[in-house]
Amino acid sequence: MVFNSLAFAIFLPIVLLGYYLLPFKGQNRFLLVASLFFYAWWDWRFLGLLGLTIVVDYYASHAIKRAATQRLKLRWLRISLISNLSVLGLFKYSNFFISSLEAVLTRIGFHVHPITLQLALPIGISFYTFMSMAYVIDVYWGKFEPVDNFFDFALFVSYFPHLVAGPILRAHQLLPQLTKPRSISKEQIRDGIALILLGLIRKVLIADLIASYVDEAFRDVTAMTSMDLLLRMWLFTIQIYGDFAGYSDMARGISKLFGIELHLNFATPFLSQNITELWRRWHISLSSWLRDYVYIPLGGSRKGQWRTYFNNFITMIVSGLWHGANWTFVGFGAVNGIGLAIHKAWLKVTKRTVPKGYGTPKWGIWSPFKILMTINLYSFSLLLFRTPNFATFGAYVTRMFSFVPGLHQGASLFVVPFILLSFTLDVLQYTGFGQEVVGRMNLATRSLAFGILFALVLIAGSDNSLPFIYFQF
């Protein structure tokens, strides 16, 4: 079930009611059962894979803690990594590697007829395997003590708000909240409902409404003018942001209703003034995961300038492959890896730095130009994210830069208002102004405002409910 479905609208109140009526020890067990039911709704057969990840990593983490030697610790870490990566590789990447090998052999004169595996991709597998692996790695590094209670760990991995599309939570972010009693404040309920509503607006009133306009461009590139394709490139950027940031907002809002706080996953990425800053603000949980478990172990920036560029490039290639088993996703990662390397080289030459984290950036006279350049670079890379193959990507880019005159009416009318709506929602959310306005409303006014907005979402989404883009990862 998806967050913007009738099934979930029935499921969530039932779970909340049961949760509120139970004492703390019963709450976690009830949430675990609800989470497994939520996952089984997609396909109950994949519960076995989720259970395998939970069992292997729970016992591997405790074996690492008990191990008397470093060699034994490393052995159990390898068992966890091999188990997780094997499942991920089999279900997500097996056909990709088989077809890639076939293409290479064909090019050098060998004609083969490989057998591909007809395996469905388990929903959320990239998210929960990365999350569980990080837990075991943190235990191995001594950053986190393994949780004693098996069912608490099972809930950590399978907790339904983040299970199928993130954010990719770390042990220190979620487990302490699961292992101690929780209290739920009126402010959490208020903010949780507001975040759910905000996420629905991003998803239903932005992402879903412009999806058909984006799809037009990829159905027949030759029917589009250059400006049509440029506008739809921007529209897809808005679509994927509204879709994924909307899901993250809903996940955070739903968790607040349980007294659980999930970390921010997007922080006004389209106000970024360079590609480095954008990746610190976009899909923060994945970016920080790749930094801590790929970039830094490769050497980070500690082994010289050229090695830093190489490490950035490899990290972004991994990011691309995480998103999908297709060479276009590798291309998506490569474009961003090259962009990060060029930006780091520029920082080296100009002796400048990018502030850590995603706080308020410094603004200057050139800031609007920098933002525009950054958005266009990232939007261009997202074409590789969207196109099924390099041939389609090449046709799209060639026609976009061929200056074919003309403009279809529909797309031009959509770009400006949707850009403005996206930025307005960001400003309201991240400046705290929206929360402040909601907080000043009395209960009756707030209920009326929320009710009207929910009604608009229901009307807009009644005939146009689309699956979340990141469910395919």
State the catalytic residues.
323
Maximum pairwise Cα distance, the chain:
74
Contact status, residue 157 vs residue 273, Cβ threshold 8 Å: no
Query: Terminus-to-terminus CA distance in the chain, angstroms?
Result: 16
Q: Half-sphere exposure of 13 toward its Cβ, with a 13 Å CA cutoff? A: 4
Distance CA(337)–CA(343), nearest Å, equals 10
Contact status, residue 281 vs residue 269, Cβ threshold 8 Å: yes
Contacts 24+ apart (CB under 8 A), 445-450: 446/190, 450/193, 450/194, 450/197
Q: How far is CA 403 from CA 100, 225, 233, 234, in A?
A: 35, 8, 15, 17
Contact status, residue 349 vs residue 340, Cβ threshold 8 Å: no
Neighbour count for residue 405 (Cβ, 10 Å):
7
Closest CA to 173 of 253, 265, 79, 55: 265
Distance CA(99)–CA(323), nearest Å, equals 18
Contact status, residue 363 vs residue 347, Cβ threshold 8 Å: no
Scan for tokens 């990141």, then name that residue: 470
